[in-house]
Structure 1
Amino acid sequence: MKICKGFESVMDTIMSVLTPIHREGHKYLVLFALVTLLLFLVWTPLGWIGVIFTAWCAYFFRDPDRVTPTRAGLIIAPADGLVQSVTEAIPPAELGMGEHLRPRISIFMNVFDVHVNRVPADGEITQVAYTPGKFLNADLEKASEDNERNSIRMTTLAGKDIAFVQIAGLVARRIVSEIEPGQKVLAGERFGIIRFGSRVDVYLDEGLKPLVSVGQRTIGGETVIADGQSEEPQRHGAVR
């Protein structure tokens, strides 16, 4: 009984600190909790190891609110993570956006980042295309072409044609997307999640300059990565 009460106390503390939890994580959290309870019954030290993994599960699926800048023309980061590359690349062929190069911002999410993905701008979704593929390390350049991905094209309220792509990583085995063609969306709205460790690429339209630098960390739904009303040239950063 003492073990059960101690376990319940720990779980209450975890939930009070880490809520809200994305609904994709509920089943995993229940599974981890049940396994942890069984481990306590087998051997108490194993149970505490289970508590650590249960806490990590809750931490991974955390879904915090964000304050999204709402001025017209802004493009907002769709994910928490590290800006892995700022380059020019051809958008995924399945979106039919042509073969000319566009500015591309790649944001890599490790297993400790928030993995809930958010819409980068106000506008309308024009196309969604899921492509099966490999599960290479998401920080590799060829992951954009070879890995399993979910590609989304949209027209912003400012008339810009942009795309954002959820890319599965080495550990990730499921991309969840709740967005459909014809859907009206707002910047910062949640639209999906990727499990566990992954990447999101954003392809900008002509005239949009990246306002983030390689090595910078972004906050999904908050960090401005481009601005259609700005004449500022592409930013470059330095580690200091």
Structure 2
Amino acid sequence: MVTIDREAAPATAVAAVPALAAALAGRRGTALALGVLPAAIALFFRDPDRRPDGPDHGSIDADTVVSPADGKVMYAGPGQDGVAPEGEWQQVSIFLSAFDVHINRAPYGGRLTDVTYRPGKWLAAYTHESAHLNERTDLVVEREVEGQKRVVHFRQIVGLMARRVVTRVAKGDEVTTGQRVGLMKFGSRMDVFVPPEVGLLVHVGQRVIAGETVIARWPSSDAPR
């Protein structure tokens, strides 16, 4: 089932004004043409159900990191200087076009130990500089598996078209793998950082689906999700 996120209401209402004005003026053809815009904006905020443990994506367990966003992988490899947090990380960066679903999901289940919003610029999301100069929210999730602490850092970054990041979780919240955590408006980027021992399972140019596509995996463990 696909629903429309509540963030669609104000943007759709504003976009509908010209169509309504044309209709009131008796210009039916113009009103119908202008009505495409609010419909397209409402579609941008679509929120489809996702199955993290679906038959096409394999079992999601404590070793599995899933994509936090729909889009195309634009980088997968060692943490980039000026992009990755301090320390050693593996990095996956995902670009969301205006046509992708923009609902964001937790790539890994656990407790959110940090949720930090940072205002910034609106550079094109595919540029290197956008990762540390653009408006963004950094989220860190921690989880203990077999006595070992696991940490996944992920980041919502708005881009040239996107002008607002929406985060609906807070520090201290418990999240599950694939849970909805917020959205970004109109074209943006998601970065995921995992420890160096975690194997990346995606490549540049690959299309990924939020909450379903497995992007990385820890060395095998029998712990439940």
CA distance in structure 2 between the aligned counterparts of 1:103 and 1:219, rounded to whole angstroms: 19
Deviation at 1:19, TM superposition (A): 4.5
Counterpart amino acid of 2:163? R
- 2: distance between equivalents of 1:173 and 1:56? 17
Aligned to 1:178: 168
Name the structure 2 match of 1:32.
Answer: 15
Query: Of residues 24, 29, 40 in structure 2, which corresponds to 1:41?
Result: 24
Q: TM-score if structure 1 supplies the norm length?
A: 0.81
- Aligned partner of 1:165 among 145, 152, 155: 155
| Cα displacement string for residues 51-90 of structure 1 (whole angstroms, at most 9, x for unaligned residues) | 2112211110000000013322110100000001113226
**Structure 1 residue 145: deviation in Å?**
1.4
* Superposed counterparts of 1:62-211, under 5 Å: 62-69=46-53, 70-89=60-79, 99-158=86-145, 159-211=149-201
Distance change in 2, residues 1:78/1:157 (3 Å): farther
Instruction: Decide whether the 8 Å contact of 2:44 with 2:101 is kept in 1.
Output: yes
After superposition, the C-alpha distances for 1:188-215 in whole angstroms (9 at most, x for unaligned) are 1111011111000001113111100000
> How many residues are treated as equivalent by the alignment?
211
Contact 2:109 2:141 (C-alpha < 8 Å) held by counterparts? no
Q: Report 1 or 2 for greater relative contact order, CA contacts < 8 Å, sequence distance ≥ 6.
A: 2
Aligned to 1:216: 206
- The CA distance in 2 between the partners of 1:177 and 1:19, in whole Å, is 20
- Tell which deviates more after alignment, 74-83 or 27-36: 27-36
User: CA contact under 8 A between 1:79 and 1:221: conserved in structure 2?
Assistant: yes
Identity of aligned residues (%): 37
* 3-state secondary structure, aligned to 1:57: helix
Taking only aligned residues, the RMSD between alpha carbons, in angstroms, comes to: 2.2
CA contact (8 A) 2:125 2:159 kept: yes
The structural deviation recorded for 1:34 is: 4.1
What do residues 129-165 of structure 1 show as CA deviations (whole Å, max 9, x unaligned)? 1111111000011111111111011113433111000
How far apart are the structure 1 equivalents of 2:77 and 2:24? 53
